[in-house]
Amino acid sequence: MRNKRNEEKRGCLGSIIKKEVKELLTWETILPIVMIVVIFGMMGGVYSGVEEDVEEEPIIGLINNDGSGTYTDILIDTLDGGAELVYNRTDEDGDLGELIDEGLEEVGNEGGAALLIIPLGFNDTIALGEERASIRVIWILEGVGTFDSIPTGSVSGLLEVARSKITRELVGGDGGNVDTILAPFEYKSNETTMIKGGNPVNAGPGDIIGALATQSMLIPIMIMIVIMFSGGNVITSMGLEKENKTLETLLTLPVKRRSIITGKIVGSSAVGLAMALIYMLAYGFFMRGFYSSSDLNLEEIGLSLGIVGYLILAISISLAVLGALALCLVLGSFAKNYKSAQMLNGPLVALTMVPMFITMFKDFSTLPLTGKIVLFAIPFSHPMIASRALLFGDYLLPLSGLAYMAFFTLVMILIAVKIFNSDHLLVGRVKKEEEGKKRGIRFGLKSRIKPD
């Protein structure tokens, strides 16, 4: 008998979860995800195209009025080796203006990046060593987008290389050890960074922050996405129940309120997690281009999570998701239809975006007191804070975060159960000025629908 009861209960919960999942996996919900994947995929494609641009030799033109000489030759060889010379002249008749016009036209037609003019006396000025020599550069910019600076950037790079080569030639001429003269001492091979509240790390601060950059960005973003998708689903599901006018019937079915709540939470988080996963894969593909893996091995320098760390992080993320879903169930009870449900996403978005941006750029410990209080009070900050704190061996903050989130989640679930057992879902809000009277009536009488 008991077993049969349990079976029935599971059956009810199962059908609610199934219904939620089916309801949430519609074109309206899948399409945005597909679009994000496509957009990221395309951006990834653009980026690899850009990478090809970087590797491709820039096209330049050259007007050399200095003939040849040690230093001029170094410059020309460097340019020739790293760029495609489509125009190469010497000003013989003294009509530089005409040559420049002609050169610009030709280089421009070829899609080139710059026309370089080496003036007469370039080599001699350097050889004398009293003054700086100069060359003239006329840049050709095809657009002003970020990626449009790539060809001109490569030419600048070539000029830097040539400059450094000429320096070496100049210094080497005196017979000293060129490397020592150029950098008489170094510190990179023997540096240690003390991180507040953590273990010392044998690397420079820039390297550490760089190595953790991917992680610092990805974990808060991932947590935000999971919470927003799952939470949004719960709110949507409540909005749909109201819009389709199905809630009233659902509440009279022989199914426990607890099962309805659990069904909504489980269904929504399953769909939310699946959506987040797809999204993260696309995002990962997109980010891979921007964050080249660092030389630092995080594990070697002691900056990785141990088993306990991962466990705490996993609990932290799960609690945050659960708390978010309970909060959304409460928010969703205010939804009148699908549209107003989307509006109710606002508080959730704010509560996940704020900690995401803060933790991306600042550590909890470096925030001013008010910032700390705000960040701690937002329950969804904690997995983001924990992911970094745990890395540096700080357990107090993540554990107190767990305690706080458990408390928050419990309160939200209690409120959600209370709402499901009250008139609120069907009756909605009573006008403000009437609220006092309403309370008087409610609390003055004992009868209430008992939670089951």
Partner 1 sequence: MAKSVLEVKDLVKYYGPLKAVNGLSFEVKENEIFGLIGPNGAGKTTTLRVISTILQITSGLVRVFGYELPRQAGEVRRIISYLPEDAGAYKNMTGKVYLGFMASFFGNGGKTREIVQEGIKIADLGRRINDRVDTYSKGMMRRLLVGRALMTDPRLAILDEPTSGLDVINAKEIRDIIKNATKEGTTVLLSSHNMLEVEFLCDRIALIDEGKIVEEGKPQELKKKYKASNIEEVFVEAVR
**Total residues binding partner 1 (CB under 8 A):** 38
Candidates 6, 7, 46, 67: give the one binding partner 1 (CB under 8 A).
Answer: 7
Residue 422 binds to partner 1 (criterion: CB under 8 A): yes
3-state helix, strand, coil in the chain (%, to 5): 70, 5, 25
Q: Is 366 in the site for partner 1 (CB under 8 A)?
A: no
| Signed CA dihedral, 64, 70, 73, 79: sign only | negative
Q: How far is the CB of 394 from partner 1 (least distance, A)?
A: 47
Q: Among candidates 196, 227, 218, which has minimal Cα distance to 378?
A: 227
Q: Does residue number 253 form part of the binding site for partner 1 (CB under 8 A)?
A: yes
Which of 322, 305, 301 is CA-nearest to residue 398?
305
Asked whether position 19 contacts partner 1 by CB under 8 A, the answer is yes
Main-chain dihedrals φ then ψ at residue 147, nearest 5 degrees? -75, -15
Among 12-20, 56-64, 126-134, 178-186, which window interacts with partner 1 (CB under 8 A)?
Answer: 12-20
Interacting span for partner 1 (CB under 8 A) from 61-69, 97-105, 267-275, 423-431? 423-431
Nearer to partner 1, 55 or 433 (CB): 433
Cα–Cα distance, 378 to 292 (Å, whole number): 32
Measured between alpha carbons, how far is residue 311 from residues 199, 235, 405 in Å? Answer: 20, 29, 16
User: Quick check: helix, strand or coil at residue 189?
Assistant: helix
Q: Closest CB to partner 1 among 23 and 207?
A: 23
The answer to whether residue 163 forms part of the interface with partner 1 (CB under 8 A) is no
Residue 266 near partner 1 by CB under 8 A: no
Answer yes or no whether residue 427 interacts with partner 1 by CB under 8 A. Answer: yes
> Of the two residues 12 and 353, which places its CB atom closer to partner 1 in the complex?
12
Q: Is 183 in the site for partner 1 (CB under 8 A)?
A: no
Selected binder of partner 1 within 52, 144, 431, 443 (CB under 8 A)? 431
Residue (217 or 260) nearer to partner 1, CB: 260
CA–CA dist 231, 355 (Å, integer):
16
| Bridge partners (DSSP) listed for residue 64 | 118
Amino acid at 373: I
Q: Is 180 in the site for partner 1 (CB under 8 A)?
A: no
Q: To 10 degrees, the CA torsion angle through 205, 208, 214, 215?
A: -110
- Contact between 12 and partner 1 (CB under 8 A)? yes
* By the rule CB under 8 A, 246 interacts with partner 1: yes
Instruction: For residue 119, give Cα distances in angstroms to 67, 96, 311.
Output: 9, 10, 67
Among 245, 307, 370, 443, binds partner 1 (CB under 8 A): 245
**For partner 1, the closer CB: 10 or 163:** 10
Q: Which DSSP string corresponds to 36-93? A: HHHHHHHHHHHHHHHHHHHHSPPEEEEEE-S---HHHHHHHHHHHHHSEEEEEE---S
Nearer residue to partner 1 within complex by CB, 165 or 256: 256
Kindly state whether residue 448 participates in binding partner 1, applying the rule CB under 8 A.
Answer: yes
Report DSSP letters for 332-389, one per residue. HTT--SHHHHHHHHHHHHHHHHHHHHHHHH--GGGS-HHHHHHHHHSTTHHHHHHHHH
| Binding piece for partner 1, criterion CB under 8 A, among 96-104, 188-196, 312-320, 420-428 | 420-428
Q: Which of 6, 15, 109, 164 binds partner 1 (CB under 8 A)?
A: 15
| 248 touching partner 1, by CB under 8 A | yes
Amino acid (1-letter code) at residue 155? V
Kindly tell me which of 12 and 86 has the beta carbon lying closer to partner 1: 12
For partner 1, the closer of residues 196 and 432 by Cβ is 432
Q: Where do contacts with partner 1 occur on this chain (CB under 8 A)?
A: 7-8, 11-12, 15, 19, 22-23, 26, 240, 244-246, 248-249, 251-256, 422-423, 426-427, 430-431, 434-435, 437-438, 441, 445, 447-450, 452
